[in-house]
Amino acid sequence: MINRTRRLRKTENIRRLVRENKLTIDDLIYPLFIEEGENIETEIKSMPGIKRFSLDKISTELDEVTALDIPAVLLFGIPSKKDDTGTETWNDDGIVQKAIRFIKKNYPKLYVITDVCFCEYTSHGHCGVIHNNDVDNDATLVNLAKQTISHAKAGADMVAPSGMMDGTIITMREALDNTGYYDLPIMGYSVKYSSAFYGPFRDAADSAPTFGDRKTYQMDPANRDEGMREATFDDVEGADILMVKPALSYLDIIRDLKNNFDRPIACYNVSGEYAMIKAAGEKGWIDEERVMMESLLSMKRAGADIIITYFAKEVAKILKRD
């Protein structure tokens, strides 16, 4: 007898009944690039549709995000001045801190997550303090605590460290707990690879390293077991959400985390993944909308509960329409 799996694919309605995964607006986090200054609304060349905004220009974008019911934004700051250690990151009047206050005042329901890192703020573009041509882990942790508290004081709803320093989560958790922010959650960029897919982001955030690369802190794309180790440490140190980054080339890692940790799993659909689909779409080589939806659905199927994506607005529009 033939096993007839096609029986359950006959019509759209039966396909709806047996469909295992679904992408929803509730899954989405939209990244925002906020630049210090005025009157800035600059399209990022390698990320069509994505702009850097100064605060005085961001309302239209935020109106749209909230009208589309996207639950959260992830903030990246682009400061007007950089230095060796990224001191602007813990300036209570820094660009991210101002942005948090602006958003919480004018869009109180929008959930504000901040990227906690240094590379946009350091003159050398690395994610911490440099000693002997490499990022000094523990010196960076001291500054990380200061940055975290500054974001918390400004009113961030969640902090998300992306620097891949050892001891990041425990340092931030203790700093937050000791200052009364015991209720503020941390989303760990727990398994973050040293990836070429970040290329367009580094244009966007002006954060490419001026020397060397990030291989002494970000993970080797060849490694899977090590991802489990990284996630275990973040889990034990108390990260509330574990993230995998990038997403599309690391769906196996997303599934590993989903199977092994009892925490919400997020993934970051990064700039290069966005740029590839946009570029092929522009050329008419793929059906951009369908490829976008299929790749995001694959992240859900792999086990992601949350997807950080530059496609968030487009996806939300489609989901509202359908």
User: Any catalytic annotation for residue 146?
Assistant: no
Residue whose C-alpha is closest to residue 187's, from 299, 24, 31, 23? 31
Which of residues 163 and 227 has its CB atom nearest to ligand PBG in the complex?
163
Within 149-178, which residues bind ligand PBG (CB under 6 A)?
Answer: 162-163
With CB under 6 A, what is the number of residues at the site for ligand PBG? 12
CA distance 267 to 45: 24
Check binding of 311 to ligand PBG (CB under 6 A).
Answer: no
Closest distance between ligand PBG and the C-beta of residue 270, in Å? 4
Please say whether the dihedral angle defined by the alpha carbons of residues 274, 60, 90 and 122, taken in this order, is positive or negative: positive
CA distance 39 to 291: 34
Q: Which stretch binds ligand PBG (CB under 6 A): 90-98, 111-119, 176-184, 257-265?
A: 111-119
In the block, tokens 């992240």 appear at 299
CA distance 72 to 111: 4
Residue 60 and residue 305 in contact, taking contact as beta carbons nearer than 8 Å? no
Check binding of 29 to ligand PBG (CB under 6 A).
Answer: no
Closest distance between ligand PBG and the C-beta of residue 11, in Å? 39
User: Any catalytic annotation for residue 245?
Assistant: yes
Closest distance between ligand PBG and the C-beta of residue 160, in Å? 9
Residue 190 and residue 267 in contact, taking contact as beta carbons nearer than 8 Å? no
Amino acid of residue 165: M
Check binding of 187 to ligand PBG (CB under 6 A).
Answer: no
Which of residues 119 and 175 has its CB atom nearest to ligand PBG in the complex?
119
**Which alpha helices (DSSP H) does 10-155 contain, by range?**
12-18, 59-67, 95-106, 137-154
Pick from 181, 201, 217, 261: which binds ligand PBG (CB under 6 A)? 201
Check binding of 230 to ligand PBG (CB under 6 A).
Answer: no
Catalytic residues: 192, 245
Which residues contact ligand PBG (rule: CB under 6 A)? 115, 117, 119, 127, 162-163, 198, 201-202, 214, 270-271
